[in-house]
Amino acid sequence: MSQPLSSAATAVSLREAFRYWLKLGFISFGGPAGQLGMMHQELVEKRRWISEQRFLHALNYCMLLPGPEAQQLATYIGWLLHGAKGALIAGLLFILPSFFILSLLAWLYLAHGDVPLLQGLLYGVKPAVTAIVLFAAWRIGKKTLHTAVLKLLALAALIAIAVFKMPFPYIVIAAALIGLVLMRWWPAQLKVAPASHGSAKAGATADAAVVNDNTALPKWQLFSWRKFIFGIALGIAIWAASLGVLVMLYGWHSPQVQLGWFFTKAALLTFGGAYAVLPYVYQGAVEQYGWLTALQMIDALALGESTPGPLIMVVAFVGFIAGWTEQLFGPNMLPLAGMLAAAIVTFFTFLPSFLFILVGAPLVESSRKQAAFTAPLTAITAAVVGVIANLALFFGYHVLWPQGLSGNFDWFALLLGIAAGVALFRYNQGIMRVLTVAALLGMVTTAF
């Protein structure tokens, strides 16, 4: 028997939801896996705001999108509960605490980066981050590379980006085309093992949840082509107007506009999570535009791993450094330049994520009873494994040879990286625990 519409729409007050999403924004450590686990435990098992089936259905959609899946899932659940207003509240509160924390850290890093305590912290964290990136490649590969062809695709992507310096977008396009060919001629090679959700409680009662399989759809969840087309048009208009204002104020070739344009492209290429897009950000921000150095990019990831929020929020740190480096308002207003650049980067990075949910979720909800989604994304995810492995190699090189191959080899960084790897791979330690111990060891080492 269907649950009454009024119950689904009003059982959770907007104020109660606001408090939860705000709290989550400050405690969402541990990367996507940790954030998804927190939401599952709190929203499915404890509060019963959403059933297991509806949670997984929303998660499957978010996993196929470019962008941070945990932030998009929060946005999706906020939308299920309270429509567009709920989606904006959930999505924004998931990222705003991280934005302000990383902006503050970026200012401290640039203004007081020579403080020995901070130097020691980063010295210890960087080898651990290298191990974490390698662990991410292994973890995604374990879930994805179930056939010989997918393994070869990951290896080919690694060679393409590491040896031939192929831009990341080309790798994504090539992988998608290969996926289409495989789907047509060798579909068995695209086999994906069913996802395991160890945190789920088998005995959960779906019908007890506010949003469950029997909940009647409120009006905002009903799909229509008119709303779909209007939503896409509105999203594109917001993006074009925002970029247009920057062009009118600063000119097309200004750092402000180039930051908006570059991170729009980055936002649409983040299949596989933040680790997958970081090589693309590195290619653009370090090699193409020179907004920051390779070592600053590693430091950005190190601090991004240590703060709450989606890991892709590391782009706010990158943006702050870019604004500071480019001296957007002259040498006397560097913090303001950094904040503006960080805000531009964050806006253009996350705008597509909100659009994907607000426009696409009604279509997804209308097809909950159907098998969905295609093979090209499986091939892209396989290629992403190779790309992430290359990122680990890149970080490892700069951590072990900080002055290049002609400089000294850092044996302590190697030992610290190996210890972090053993803690992750062998003993399944949490990322925050590994980073904390590594930071403490780094500070102790540099103090003596």
> What pLDDT is recorded for position 234?
95
C-alpha span between 357 and 61 (Å, rounded): 9
What is the chain's alpha carbon radius of gyration, rounded to the nearest angstrom? 22
pTM for the model stands at 0.73
> What pLDDT is recorded for position 431?
75
> What pLDDT is recorded for position 2?
39
Residue partners of 39: CB distance under 8 A and separation at least 6: 24, 55, 70, 73, 74, 77
Task: Over range 400-416, report the average pLDDT.
Answer: 88
Between the CA of residue 69 and those of 59, 186, 236, what are the distances in Å? 8, 29, 21
Task: Over range 364-378, report the average pLDDT.
Answer: 61
Please provide the DSSP assignment of 310-339 as one string: -GGGHHHHHHHHHHHHHTTT-TT-HHHHHH
Report the domain count for the chain: 1
Tell me the pLDDT tens digit for each residue of 219-235.
Answer: 888 888 999 999 999 99
Task: Over range 68-72, report the average pLDDT.
Answer: 87
Confidence of residue 274 (pLDDT cuts 50, 70, 90): low
Between the CA of residue 345 and those of 16, 40, 320, what are the distances in Å? 30, 29, 9
Yes or no: say if 291 and 325 are a contact pair by the CB < 8 Å rule: yes
Res 381 pLDDT > 50? yes
Res 280 pLDDT > 50? yes
Res 278 pLDDT > 90? no
Yes or no: say if 162 and 393 are a contact pair by the CB < 8 Å rule: yes
Yes or no: say if 321 and 296 are a contact pair by the CB < 8 Å rule: yes
> What pLDDT is recorded for position 398?
81
Res 191 pLDDT > 80? no
Bridge partners of 22?
Answer: none
Residues 169-206 as b or e (16 or more Cβ within 10 Å = b): eebbebbbebbeebbeeeeebbebeeeeeeeeeeeeeb
Could you give the count of Cα atoms lying within 13 Å of 399 in the half-sphere of its Cβ?
A: 30
C-alpha span between 272 and 279 (Å, rounded): 12
211 φ, ψ (degrees, to nearest 5): -110, 110
Res 370 pLDDT > 50? no
Sign of CA dihedral 392, 397, 398, 400: positive
Tell me the pLDDT tens digit for each residue of 196-219.
Answer: 444 444 444 455 778 876 766 778
Confidence of residue 412 (pLDDT cuts 50, 70, 90): very high
Tell me the pLDDT tens digit for each residue of 151-166.
Answer: 999 999 999 988 888 8
Percent of the chain with pLDDT over 70: 87
Domain that includes residue 313, residue range: 5-447
Q: Which of 107-116, 275-284, 325-334, 423-432 has the highest mean pLDDT?
A: 325-334
Mean pLDDT, all residues of the chain: 83
Tell me the pLDDT tens digit for each residue of 28-61.
Answer: 765 666 677 778 888 988 888 998 778 877 876 7
C-alpha span between 402 and 202 (Å, rounded): 50
> What pLDDT is recorded for position 420?
92
Closest CA to 321 of 105, 123, 142, 151: 105
Res 350 pLDDT > 70? yes
Confidence of residue 144 (pLDDT cuts 50, 70, 90): confident
Res 146 pLDDT > 50? yes
